[in-house]
Chains A and B, each alone.
Chain A
Amino acid sequence: MSHPRLAVFARHANGQVGPLRVLEGQKTGISRSLHGVYVDIPNDEVIMPSNVAAAILVFSRTQSGNTPPKRVIQGPLTHLHSPQGVAVDNKHNELIVSNDTRLSILVFERTASGNVAPVREIIGSLTGIKSPQGIVVDPVHDEIILSDEGKPGEDAKQLDEGVKPKPALLVFRRTDSGNVAPIRVISGPQTGMLRPRQIQLDTQRDELVLADRGLPQEFIYDTPGFLAVWKRTDSGDVPPRKLIRGTKSQLTSPRAVYVDEKNGEYGAGDTTSHSVMVFPRDFASDGSKPQVTPPRPPPVN
Chain B
Amino acid sequence: MSRMGVSKLRALALAACALVTWEISLARATDVQPLRVIKDQDPNFDTLFVDVEHDEILVGNDAQETLQVYSRSAQGVVAPLREIGGTKTFLTFPGQVIIDPVHNEILNVGNDIADLITVYQRTASGNVAPIRRIDGRRPQLRFNRSWGMALDLKNDELFVSHQKRNQISVFARTTNTDLDRDATQKRIIRGPATQLANVHGIFVDAKANEIYAANLGHQVTKDPTSGLPVGETHLPSITVYARTAKGNVAPLRTIQGPDTKLDNAKPIFVDSERHEIVVANGSPTNALLFFDQKAKGNAKPIRVIQGENTGLSDPSGLFVDTVHHEVLVANWSNHTITTYASGASGNVKPLRVISPSKSRIAAGIGNPGAIYVDPERDEIGVAN
| A contacts, CB < 8 Å to B | 1-20, 22, 24-27, 29, 31-39, 41, 46, 48, 50-55, 61, 65-66, 72, 74-76, 78-82, 85, 101-102, 134, 154-156, 159-160, 190, 192, 197-198, 216, 218-220, 226, 238-250, 255-263, 265, 267-280, 283, 285-289
Contacts and interface: CB of A to CB of B under 8 A. Distances in A.
B29 A244 contact: yes
Contact of B366 (A2, A8, A190): A2
- By secondary structure, the B interface counts as loop
A262 B375 contact: yes
Contacts of A51: 164
Contact of A226 (B29, B364, B372): B29
A248 B33 contact: yes
Contacts of A198: 369-371
Interface string B122-162: 00000000000000011110000101000000000000000
B288 to A, nearest CB: 16
A41 B374 CA distance: 8
B23 interface: yes
Interface string B269-282: 00000000000001
Contact of B36 (A16, A22, A257, A277): A277
6 A-B pairs with least C-beta separation: A54-B231, A246-B31, A269-B368, A239-B27, A275-B39, A277-B34
B145 A192 contact: no
Contacts of B1: none
28 contacts: A1-B94, A1-B147, A1-B332, A2-B145, A2-B147, A3-B364, A3-B384, A5-B383, A6-B381, A6-B382, A9-B379, A11-B380, A14-B36, A17-B363, A24-B264, A24-B282, A31-B198, A55-B233, A61-B374, A81-B231, A82-B220, A197-B369, A219-B116, A220-B87, A244-B32, A267-B371, A271-B368, A278-B34
A8 B383 CA distance: 9
B232 interface: yes
Contact of A74 (B233, B283, B316, B369): B233
A15 B380 contact: no
A287 B375 CA distance: 24
B28 A276 contact: no
Given A3-B314, A24-B282, 9 more contacts: A2-B145, A10-B380, A15-B41, A52-B220, A197-B369, A218-B90, A219-B92, A244-B31, A280-B32
A26 B263 contact: yes
B95 A16 contact: no
A18 B37 contact: no
Interface in B192-228: 198, 216-220, 223, 225-226, 228
Nearest to B47: A1
Interface of B: 23-24, 26-42, 46-47, 60, 62-63, 65, 87, 90, 92-95, 110-114, 116, 137-140, 145, 147, 163-164, 181-182, 198, 216-220, 223, 225-226, 228-233, 236, 262-264, 282-285, 314, 316, 332, 359, 361-376, 378-384
B145 A33 contact: yes
Given A39-B381, A275-B39, A240 B220 contact: no
Given A17-B38, A76-B226, A269 B370 contact: yes
A55 to B, nearest CB: 5
Nearest to B368: A269
B216 A26 contact: yes
A13 B380 contact: yes
B163 A32 contact: yes
Nearest to B228: A76
A77 to B, nearest CB: 8
A192 B27 contact: yes
A52 to B, nearest CB: 4
Contacts of B163: 2, 32, 52
B89 to A, nearest CB: 9
B361 A274 contact: no
Contact of A18 (B29, B218, B363, B371): B363
